[in-house]
Every structure is written in structure tokens, then in C-alpha cells.
Structure 1
Amino acid sequence: MENSKKIVVLDGYTLCAGELNFDALRAFGDVTVYDRAAQADVARLIGDAQIVLTNKAQITADVMAACPQIEYVGVTATGYNIVDVAEAKRRGIVVTNAPAYSTQAVAQHTFALLLESLNRVGAYSGQVRGGAWQASADFCFFSEPMEEIAGKTIGLIGFGHIGQSVAKIALAFGMNVLVCVPHPKAGWDDVRFVTLDELMKESDVVSLHCPLTEENRRMIDEKAIARMKPGVRIINTARGGLVDESALAAALESGRVACYMADVLSEEPPVHGSPLLEAKHAILTPHVAWAPLQTRRRLMKIVVGNVEAFVKGDPINVVSR
């Protein structure tokens, strides 16, 4: 193919876990897909490719120095903190992301976690299968406390596409919605924009929907938890680094936090001894909120569209300007 590019896909398994493929990229060049890429091997796997797609493998300044022919890095996700964007900009490398592809899926997962905490569906199902209901003398078998979602106050830290979708669902459930963002958004008369301190003091549920930055790393720490209501529930479908996991595990053990529900951890996959793995009242899922098949199809369409736009000289979804 004349003027075709060499394209390398790192950690392709994340997006294509059996049902999808990257064949559409072959219209733009010679494509090599690696299911997984250890960080130590990233530069070697990229080789002399001009186009690199990555989901978790980091494209650091050292990687860019080792692979000076890189012209484009496409992050197959919305968050792009795995790329040294400042260094990419300095080198004239275009970096793109995939915005808004998982909005509904992550909002749905947020409430799947919250409803599990409130309704204890998994615990009850396990007890029924284990024979506890059969052994009961009563028509209804009560072993787990349950709570209504209506009337509770949920505080959203971050109010992008996902945060707004969560707010809509929360309002439909009859929840009160507080939002903490630097700039309140027009058209949201049913929510209340508040300071972070107000949100923490008033919320029954605190839900994180903000990007991870150096400024907010471990923002949910011992001091923050102390400002929250006793028995607060905390949801994290954003980034694991937003919480101090040791402080949170201690708060779960003491009962200060009633439940922590997360689809993300600070280290993924977690290592043995990670403080939240053994903490009581922690509901953890393995970074799958974004991953329904329909969502991944949407993501693939965006990823291919980003590459096509770059090859044609008019890149879209650029985060390195």
C-alpha cells in the first residue's frame, strides 16, 4: 500500500476479548496486534511503527525517545494519563482518546454496585442456593439488612458525561443529587451544586466521576472520610488512585464507611495483600464497567475513526494540542 503506515496495537486483548478484531485498521497500513504488552517490552514491540494504539501500556518519554518515528498515539480509552502528553506535544506526536463511548455502561455499573450494597442480591442468592431459605420456617427469609434508594442523597464528584448520566438515573430513583465541580452547569435545576466540604457532610453516597490528576490523587483519605457522614457509602468507577486504599480499608473495618464499591484499584490487577481485597463490606469488580460488547463495538468505531482522520491529515479527539 503506497504511503501506508506501520500500525502497532499494544494490549489488544483489552478491547478485543474474542468477539472483535482490528481488521478495519488494515485499510490504513500494516497492522500488528499484541494481545498484551509488558511495560519493559513496549519500545521493542513498537519497533519502527508510526502509529501506536494502547489501552494500558504506557507511552512514556523514554518510549518516545527509543521510538522517534512515532507520529500518532491513539489511546483506546477516555482517560489518557498513560501517555506523557507534554512530551508528545514537544515532539509533535498527535495523541487522541475515545470520549464518551462508555457513558451509559459506566453509569449502569455505578448503580449495579449501589443496588447490590442496598439490596444484598448476591448475598441472598448465595444463601438460597446454599439451603438457608429451605431450612427456614418462614415464608420470607430475612438475614441481610436492606435499604431503599429513594430519599438518599448522592454526591457526585465530577460532572462530565458519566456524572451527568448518573445524576439522571439517581433523580429517576428519587435520590437527592449534589454535585461538586469547578463550574456549575446550566440546565440542571434538579441538582444542587455545592462545595466539596458540603458534599462530604451531606451525602449518604459519594460517587467519584472525575479524572485522576496529581492534585486529586488520594483525595479520599483519612481526613476526607472524617468529614463524611458515619456509615457513608463510597463508589469509585473512575480511577483507583483517587482513594487512599489503606485509609479506606481501615474505615471499612471500623464501620465509619458502610461500603466501598469500586470497579478500579490503584494497581491493576491487584497484588496479594492489597488492603481492599480482604476488607469487609468492599464490593470490587475487575475494571469491567466500561466493557459490555455494545460499548466495545462503539469504542472500536471511534478508535478506527481516529486513525482514519489522522491518516487523512485532519485528526479528531486530539488531547495533545
Structure 2
Amino acid sequence: MSTVPSKPAILVTAADLAPQALALLRDYAIVYAGKTPTEDDIAGLCRQHNPQAIIVRYGKVGAPAMDAAPALRVISKHGSGTDTIDKVAAKARSIEVRAAVGANAAAVAEQAMALLLACAKSVVRMNARMHASFWDKATHKSVELAGRTVGLVGVGAIGARFARMARGLDMRVIAFDPYAKEAPEGVELVDLETLWKSSDAISLHCPLTQENRGLLNAQTLARCKPGVIVVNTARGGLIDEPALLEAVRSGQVFAAGLDSFAVEPMVAGHPFQGEERILLSPHIGGVTADAYVKMGVAAAENALAVLHA
């Protein structure tokens, strides 16, 4: 009596995947790692199911997981940032790493702009004051963004989209991006020193690498304009968090809008908590209903492109 071989496995490091992505992967057995998988969880599931592909949403994928899955051919990121994947280990094992570049660009760029506007207009503080029965019209002054300069670190899909929105607010847009072959329309490419000195607001839109870890630190913040606004929807490791906290408290930084952090999820007692001029969101820039589908489909398509090559 013959048996029908089971479907090859694809591991998803999350508890769900968009139905549109699942439809593309119908020839594979989908294994979910849960909402908050650890590296050990992922390695254990690799050992158990020997997946041909891993779609990475949460958690880190390192050499132990790769070694536990001899059939593994591709690691596909559900998003654009691949810093949670050990790319050196993957290359050494001839495992391709793919990213869903641009799939969440609209969502993240909108979050960055929301944080910039909220900082400039003191949205959170004024809301709290109003709910406490205060009326601060006679004493409050917001920051007007029109005519001011925003400096972008990175002008990939997200940065370029943010730049278009900033130009729509009549802001001057400058950017540093050593990988950009040409500047997006209306954006002036500059060196980092010019960006620090010239920007009234700085928004980070670059991947995290060993070279740029702690890019925004005590030294670079000191070279910025007094009262600069800082926005980060990229990776928390780009910022030296104690240095940023000190700069906010001293007034060197007027306000900061942050959607990513050095350690995630943020734990109770983090020094940023309770700071009125540091606006926090839990790395949700790319978390919209539309982006969920776009990233899932792109991650599935990237995995299949390798598996079916």
C-alpha cells in the first residue's frame, strides 16, 4: 500500500499570515511559531519540520535554526528590514535571504509623518491638557514645518515616500544615503555633517548595520540645531537611547517620535516612559490592514521565487 508524501513545510515566525499569502502557498504545509517566538522556539520547529522556507515576522533566525533545517533554501522577510536574520550564516549555507522591499512603504512613511506632526504640534500634550480641563491657547506655541528643513537618513522606498509628503508641506528635504544612485525629485543629497547641522527635523529610514549602529549619539546630537525634532520608524539600534534622553531633557532635542527601540518589546520602567516630549508607538509603522496583506504576499512570492527556480 503506497502513501501520499506530506507537503513540504514553510515555517512562519508568527501566529498568522494573510489569507492572500496562504493561497499562494497552498502546496506547502504552513507551520506557525506563535506570537512571540524565541530563537530556540524557531530552531526547535526547524528541527521538527525541516522547512524549505522560513517567512520571518517576529523573532530572530540564526545559525542554529538554519542548521536544524537541512532542506532550508530561503528565508523571506515579512517586511523590509532583515537585521533579525543572520545573513552571514545564511550565505555560508547557500540560503537566500529576501526582503519585501516597499511593501510597507506607505504605512511606515505615514507613521513617520504622523510622529513628526505630533511632535511639532504638541498633539499628545495638548490632548492630555484638554482632557484635564486646561485651555492653553494664550500660552502655547507650536512649530510650523513649512519652510523648515527635514533631513532624511535613507531614501529608499520609505524615505522617498516620506520626502514627497514633506515636500507637500513646503518643507526643504535633504538626505544622506550612500547607496542612492540619484536623489528623489525635490531632494538634495548631502553628507552627514551637513544633514546634522542643517536639519530642523531628522527622520531615520535606513537599515541597521554594524557601521551605523548608534548613528544618532551624544556627539552627533550635539552637532544638530538646538530644538531639532527626531523621528525614528526604522530600527531602534540606530539611536543611542541614553544620549537621546539627555538631549531631550536638555532641550537640544525639542521632541522625539519613536516607533522602534533597541530592545523590543519595551519593558516597564524604560527611561523613555513618562517623558512628555518623547512620543512612543510599539513598532506599528508597518502594521496596517493593507500592509499586512502586501507584506504577506510579497514574502510568499519571494519564497516561491527561490523554491521554484
Alignment TM-score, normalising by the size of structure 1: 0.87
How big is each residue's C-alpha offset from its partner over 1:65-119, in whole Å with a ceiling of 9 and x where there is no partner?
Answer: 2333322222212111211222212212222211101111111111101111122
- 1:114 aligned counterpart, secondary structure: helix
The residue number in structure 1 matching 2:116 is: 114
1:41-56 equivalences under 5 Å are 41-46=41-46, 47=48, 48-56=50-58
1:85 and 1:102 map into 2 onto residues whose CA distance is 21
Cα separation, 2, equivalents of 1:219 and 1:84: 21
Secondary structure in structure 2 of the residue aligned to 1:250: helix
Query: Cα distance 1:45–1:186, how it changes in 2: closer, same or farther (>3 A)?
Result: closer
Over the aligned positions, Cα root-mean-square deviation in angstroms equals 2.2
User: Would you say how many aligned residue pairs link Structure 1 and Structure 2?
Assistant: 303
Distance 2:164 2:199 in 1: 17
Gap regions ≥5 residues in structure 1: 134-139, 314-321
Name the structure 1 match of 2:22.
23
CA–CA distance in structure 2, aligned partners of residues 83 and 273 of structure 1: 28
SS of 1:287 mapped into structure 2 = coil
CA 215–298 in structure 1, closer or farther in 2 if over 3 Å, else same: same
Of 250-259 and 179-188, deviating more is 179-188
Query: Structure 2 vs 1, CA of residues 231 and 105 (structure 1 numbering), >3 Å: closer, same or farther?
Result: same
Q: How does 1:271-310 map to 2 (within 5 A)?
A: 271-310=267-306
Q: Distance in 2 between matches of 1:302 and 1:69?
A: 22
1:179 aligned onto 2:175: yes
Shift of residue 44 of structure 1? Answer: 0.9
* Structure 1 counterpart of 2:97, from 95, 98, 101: 95
Q: Which fold has the larger relative contact order, with Cα–Cα distance below 8 Å and residues 6 or more apart in sequence? A: 2
Contact 2:25 2:300 (8 Å CA) reproduced:
no
The 5 A counterparts of 1:1-321 are 4-13=7-16, 23-24=22-23, 26-36=25-35, 37-46=37-46, 47=48, 48-133=50-135, 141-142=137-138, 144-182=140-178, 185-186=181-182, 188=184, 190-313=186-309
Cα contact 1:120–1:144 (8 A) shared by 2: no
Contact 2:160 2:184 in 1 (8 A): no
Give the counterpart letter for 1:42 in structure 2.
I
Distance 2:297 2:169 in 1: 32
Q: What is the one-letter code of the residue matched to 2:241?
A: E
Name the counterpart of 1:137. none
How has the CA–CA distance of structure 1 residues 254 and 10 changed in structure 2, closer, same or farther, with 3 Å as cutoff? Answer: same
Change (3 A) 1:223 1:310: same
Give, in whole Å, the separation in 1 of the partners of 2:307 and 2:65.
Answer: 22
The TM-score normalised by the length of structure 2 is 0.90
Evaluate the alpha carbon distance shift between residue 182 and residue 71 of structure 1 in structure 2; reply closer, same or farther with a 3 A threshold: closer
Q: Deviations over 1:177-220 (max 9, x none)?
A: 11112266546463322111111011100111111100000011
In structure 1, distance between residues paired with 2:246 and 2:233? 20
